Structure 1
C-alpha cells in the first residue's frame, strides 16, 4: 500500500512566485469569502511559524466576517500569500505557494525531476554583482548534460546568446537552454575575466531520478584509510545505496571519512538521521534533532531519535514508498571532515549541527546557506487542518509551502546565522582546480587530507590572485536552487516527544 504522508521541506535560495491569473480568484462580494483565498489565510493562520508576528494573520481578523472577507477578496492567491509572510526576504526567505496548473521552474519536493543533469553555482564576475558566470559542480551520468558533452568545471558565460547576469541566470532552469562556455578563466585584482569558446551547447531537460551517492573512493595516506564520499542529496529512495556505500567502507577498513556536502541542498530527515548512525552507530535511541512548531501545533514538537535500522523506499507515483528495513552499516567514527559551500543547506546543515553533539565534525570550505527552519505542505483540506493531500479540494490545484517549524540539535542550542567553516577555502580557487571527484588538486579535498595526515600534499594545483577582492559574501545571494531538495519527513506523526 502506498504510504500517505505529510511532506516537510527545508528550501534554499530564491522564492519563486507562481504565475497566476485573475481568473484564479473569483469575483465575490464582501459577504462571501473567496474560496481559494479563504484556504490560503486559514491554513497560514493555523500553521505559519511566525503567525503571532503577523498582524494580518491574527485570530482577531476573523471576528468580523465583513472585515475578513474584504481583506482576502480581490487578491490573487499568491499575492495574498506573500503579503502574509513575516519580513519576507529577510526573516522569511523560503516560504512559497504553487499552483500546479502552472509550470513551476523547480520541483522542490519530487524525487524525479525535470533536469538537465548538471549542478551549478552562480558567481559574480566583479564587485558590481551584475555580470555572472555559472560554474558546473558536477554532471549526472547519462543525463542530457552528459550527452551534450558538459563536464565538471566547465564555466557558463552566456545563456541563450546573452551574457549571464543577476537578472537572467534563472533561465538556466528553462526546459531547454543553449549555453556558451568559457575557453579561459583569468583573475585580476578585482574581477574574473573570461574568453568564450566558439559554438554553443544545447541541453533539454528530462525526468531524472538522480543517485545522490555520486562518488566514493578509498585513499591511503600515511597508514590512514581515508574514505571520500560525495553525497549530493538526502533522498530516501536511495537509502539502500547509501547504506551499501558504508558497507563498502567497512570492508575497505576506512578509519577516516571526508564527507563532501558542497552541493547538497537537503532531503529526507530519516536519511539524515540514518547517515549519522552510519558514521558512528554508538548512540542508538538517543535524540538527534528537535522540531519546534508554533503554539497552535505544540503537539507536533518533538525529537527524532537515532536508530540502528534504516528504512528502504521505492518510488511509486513519485512518492518514496516504504518497502523494508535494513540494519545500518556503521564505521564507528569519532571524527569526520565535511566539505561545505554556499550551496550546503537544510539536511546538510542539520547533519553538521546535530552530529557534532556526538562526534567531532571538522568543516572545510565556505559559509553555508543558514537554513534552520522548515515547512510541511498545506492543502485545501480544512477538516484535516490543511494537512491531507487525499482529502483536498479538487476545485483548484493551489498548495502552500510556508515555514512551519524550526529545528535544533538535541540540546536545543541556538543555531548560527550560517555555519562558518573551521577551515575557509576561497571559493574562486575552484575555477582553476575543479577536477574530477577524488583528484587531490581539489583544494577542499586536499585540505581535508592534509588535516588527517598532518602532511602537506604536493600538487600542481593553480592558485587565484591572493589580493582578489571578491569575497564569499558576494556569492550567497546568487545561490541557485537546482540542487535543493529541502527536508521532508515521511510521517511526522511518529515523532516521539522526550
Structure 2
C-alpha cells in the first residue's frame, strides 16, 4: 500500500529507541523488541516525536486498550494534532477521498431550528438535486430539524436515525429553504461520494481587473489535478488578482501546498525556499529545505499579491501557504485567526495502523514560524454564510473586493476587535469536517 505524507514525502522511519525509557518496569524485555502495535507505537514516539521530552514518564504500552488510547496518554500538553488511523481509514480519507453520504456539510443556525449548508460536493446526491451553500435544511424525512436536533441533544436519537445508516442506497427526504425564501424538497440517496477539493472557481471584473476566486477545501492527492485545471482556467481568463478561500481548509499534503503557492506566485518564488523542516535533536540529520515547485506542466500566474480568506478552521497546509509566500509577495489575510499549526507529521506505518504524530516544525525562507496562536488577519471579519460562493454580501469575500478597490481594510473590518469563527476547528481524524458532514 502506498502511503502519502501529510506534509512531506519522506521515506518512513522505522521504530527506534533504546535505553531505560524503552524497558518495562522489570527491565527484562526491551519494549522496542516487542512485536505488538502499542509497543512499536511507543518506540516510534520516543524516537520521532517532536516533543518526546514532554512525554509523561512511567507509561506502559500494555496498559492501553488501543493505539489511540496510548497516543492520547503520550501526547504532550501542547499537542492538539497527533492521531492514529487504521490503514483502511487512511486510504478512505487521503487516497480514495470518498465517504458514504449525501455530499454536504452544515452547521446549526437559527437557535437549532435549521441546518445551514456550508458546502456541497459535486458528486453527491444533495448537490445533484439542487442543494447549495447558504440553503437552510428545515425538515428531514417528515420531521422538523428543530425536533431532530432536540432529540439528538437529549440522546433519544442519533445520526443514523436522522440520516440513515452508513450504507449505499439509503434514501431520506429533505426540505430546505433558499436564501430568497423559496422552499424546495427532494429525496437524497446515500452513495460513496468523491470529495472534490476545489469547491468553486470563477472570474469577475472589478475596477478593470480580472479577479479570480478559488475556494479550496483540502490538500489531498486528487487536489493536484483539480488545481492544475483551476489555474489553467484562470490563466485563460487573464486573471490579474486572486482571492483564495481557505476558510474551511484543515490542511493535508505539503507538496500540494507547495504546488498551490507556486502556481499563485510563479516567477516571484521559483528557486526560493518554500519551507524549512526542523526535526527533534535525535533526527536533526533530516532537517532540510524544499524549494517552490508547481510540478511539470502546471500553469502559474506570477501574481504579486494574494488575498486569502481564513477562519479558525484554516489549518496546517493552509497556514503554510500564507507563511511561505509572505517573504515574496503581498499576502492580505481576511477573516479570523487561523488554527495555529506550524508543525507537521511524517507518518509511521505500524502493522495495520498509520501513526501521524507531530515530528517536525516548519519555518519559511526568513525562518519565521512558531505561530501556535494562529496567523492574524490583516482585516478581521466575522464569517457568516449568506449564500452560495461569491455572493456580494459574503463578509469575507466582500472585504477582499473592497480592499482590492480601495487599497485598505474597510472601517467595518478594522473595527472588528476579537473574531471567533462560527466554524468549528478541524477535528483530528477528519480535518475538513465542520459541524456535520453527510
Give me the TM-score of the superposition, normalised by structure 1. 0.67
Are residues 36 and 211 of structure 1, via their aligned partners in 2, closer, same or farther at CA, if it must alter by over 3 Å? Answer: closer
How big is each residue's C-alpha offset from its partner over 1:286-322, in whole Å with a ceiling of 9 and x where there is no partner?
A: 1011111111211221111013x51xxxxxxxxxxxx
Number of the residue aligned with 1:211: 196
SS in 2 for 1:295: coil
* Kept in 2: contact 1:148–1:203 (CA 8 A): no
Instruction: Confirm or deny that 1:73 pairs with 2:25.
Output: no
Which of 101, 104, 116 is 2:101 aligned to? 116
Deviation at 1:76, TM superposition (A): 1.5
1:347 aligns with 317
Contact 1:267 1:485 survives alignment (8 Å): no
Equivalence map 1:454-473=2 (5 Å): 454=406, 472-473=419-420
Q: Which residue of 1 aligns with 2:14?
A: none
C-alpha deviation, 1:6, in angstroms: 5.0
Are 2:206 and 1:221 aligned?
Answer: yes
Give the structure 1 partner of residue 141 of structure 2: none
- Which aligned pairs between 1:75-474 and structure 2 lie closer than 5 A? 75-78=64-67, 79-87=69-77, 91-99=78-86, 107-116=92-101, 118-120=103-105, 122=107, 134-147=115-128, 149-155=130-136, 158=145, 161-163=148-150, 175=166, 204-208=190-194, 210-282=195-267, 283-307=269-293, 309-310=294-295, 325-326=296-297, 328-380=298-350, 393=351, 397-416=352-371, 417-427=373-383, 429-430=384-385, 433-434=386-387, 436-454=388-406, 472-473=419-420
**Shift of the alpha carbon at 1:86?**
0.8
Structure 1 runs not aligned, ≥5 long:
11-28, 62-67, 186-196, 311-324, 381-392, 457-462, 487-498
- Checking the alignment, whether the CA contact within 8 Å between 2:306 and 2:331 is kept in structure 1 is yes
Aligned-partner SS, 2:72: helix
Distance (Å, rounded) in 1 between the aligned partners of 2:389 and 2:80: 32
Distance 1:437 1:379, change over 3 A: same
Which residue of structure 1 lines up, in the alignment, with residue 23 of structure 2?
none
Larger RCO, structure (CA 8 Å, separation 6 or more): 1
Distance 1:354 1:9, change over 3 A: closer
Structure 2 partner of 1:18: none
SS of residue matched to 2:333: strand
Task: Tell me whether 1:37 sits opposite 2:31 in the alignment.
Answer: no
1:451 counterpart SS class: helix
CA deviations on 1:86-133 (whole Å, 9 max, x unpaired) are 11xxx11111223458xx69954334221535453646777xxxx696
Alpha-carbon distance between aligned partners in 2 of 1:174 and 1:223, rounded to the nearest angstrom: 51
Distance 1:363 1:7 in 2: 27
Q: Deviations over 1:407-439 (max 9, x none)?
A: 121222133311222112222x32xx22x2233
| Alpha-carbon separation, structure 1, partners of 2:370 and 2:309 | 19
Determine the structure 2 residue equivalent to 1:49. Answer: 50
Query: How big is each residue's C-alpha offset from its partner over 1:447-487, in whole Å with a ceiling of 9 and x where there is no partner?
Result: 2112112299xxxxxx9xx99x9x7437465656797369x
Contact 2:307 2:331 in 1 (8 A): yes
1:64 aligned partner: none
Q: Report the Cα offset of residue 329 of structure 1.
A: 1.9
Q: Distance in 2 between matches of 1:343 and 1:160?
A: 28
Q: How far apart are residue 399 of structure 1 and its match?
A: 3.2
1:46 and 1:166 mapped to 2: Cα distance? Answer: 45
Counterparts of 1:233 and 1:139 in 2: how far apart (Å)?
14
Size of the aligned set, in residue pairs, is 389
How far 1:161 moved relative to its partner? 2.5
| Alignment partner, residue 16 of structure 2 | none
| CA distance, structure 1, for counterparts of residue 253 and residue 96 of structure 2 | 10
Give the aligned CA root-mean-square deviation in angstroms: 4.1
Would the aligned equivalents of 2:211 and 2:242 in 1 still touch at CA under 8 Å?
yes
Distance of 2:133 and 2:117 partners within structure 1: 5
In structure 1, what is the equivalent of residue 20 of structure 2? none
Q: Using the alignment, how far apart are the partners of 1:360 and 1:217 within structure 2?
A: 22
| Inter-CA distance 54–369: structure 2 relative to 1 (3 Å threshold) | same
Note closer, same or farther for the CA distance 1:300–1:306 as it changes in structure 2 (3 Å cut): same
Q: 1:73 to 1:356 in 2, by over 3 A?
A: same
Does the aligned pair in 1 maintain the 2:380–2:419 contact within 8 Å?
no
In the aligned structure 2, how far is the partner of 1:155 from the partner of 1:112? 26
Which secondary structure state, in structure 1, belongs to the residue aligned with residue 133 of structure 2? coil
Residue 478 to residue 148, structure 1, CA distance change in 2 (3 Å)? farther
Asked if structure 1 preserves the Cα contact closer than 8 Å seen for 2:94 and 2:220, the reply is no
> TM-score scaled by structure 2?
0.75
How far did 1:180 drift? 7.1
Does structure 1 retain, via aligned residues, the 8 Å contact 2:270–2:292? yes
